[in-house]
Amino acid sequence: MKNAGRAYLTGICLTLLLAASAAGQGLYWESTTTGGPLKDQANVSQSYAMPKMFKIVTSGKIMILRMDQEKIYDVNPSTKTYSEMTFADLEAYAKKAGDKMAAFKEKIKNLPPDQQKKMEALGALMGGGKDAPVEISATGEKKTIGGYACTKYTMTRSGKDMATMWVTKDVGGFDNLRQDWMEFGKRMAALTNMSGLGEAYQKMDGFPMETDMDMMGRIITVVTKVEKRSTPADEFNVPAGYTKTDSPMMQKMDK
């Protein structure tokens, strides 16, 4: 079972679902991320959302999601290279991972009961258990982030906390396209067997100002600036003259 690959794909899904809740006629926001492989270093990113298009710029790299093309582009300006991954590629990976999960479940049948229970719990947490849906609920807790009044939401699966989100209703500009992005999010969530993830996100009413995820390591993202902004469609294209290479996303998932 390739846990790192499954976790990587799950992380993509969660990121895009968060973007989904922010999409509108045009939105731009800046955020700071700490934790995970970054350890104590802070990483600043800029995100741009337009109808069926999303772009995030971070650490000199660019990720472009084109829902209209059913593709994800990974762009490296420093080397003037790019790679692409289609939704079909993701679906093929999901099938491959599902087959490996089935083999994993067969293999652990002969383990002692206590070890088998632990391994089953690990498999469910990593997306191998259809009977363990993702759940999101509002806690009623309140705090102010960046001048916006926020409500705390929690995400759980198999009784374990996956993420905490502080969400505000005071950021406008995303209601019109919310459903488009949610439909995409449901499709992406299905790839990781994260039962009910798309439906769960629809319960989160507003824009996420702070997200604390625990996906193979704790990662905290805080939005420091957000505004309505119309971004030209050409900004969501790979720049002319860039050379196509193999997808690092697929390589990471294979690991």
Along the chain (255 residues), what's the average pLDDT of each consecutive run of 10 residues?
49 56 70 75 86 89 90 94 89 73 72 72 52 79 94 86 88 62 63 59 80 80 90 95 84 59
What pLDDT is stored for residue 64 in this prediction? 93
Q: Residue ranges per domain, the chain?
A: 3-240
What pLDDT is stored for residue 14 in this prediction? 57
3-class SS at 164? Answer: strand
What pLDDT is stored for residue 215 in this prediction? 63
The CATH classification of domain 3-240, taken from the options 3.30.380.10, 3.40.50.920, 3.90.320.10, 2.50.20.10: 2.50.20.10
What pLDDT is stored for residue 195 in this prediction? 53
What pLDDT is stored for residue 249 in this prediction? 63
What pLDDT is stored for residue 1 in this prediction? 41
What pLDDT is stored for residue 2 in this prediction? 46
What pLDDT is stored for residue 245 in this prediction? 94
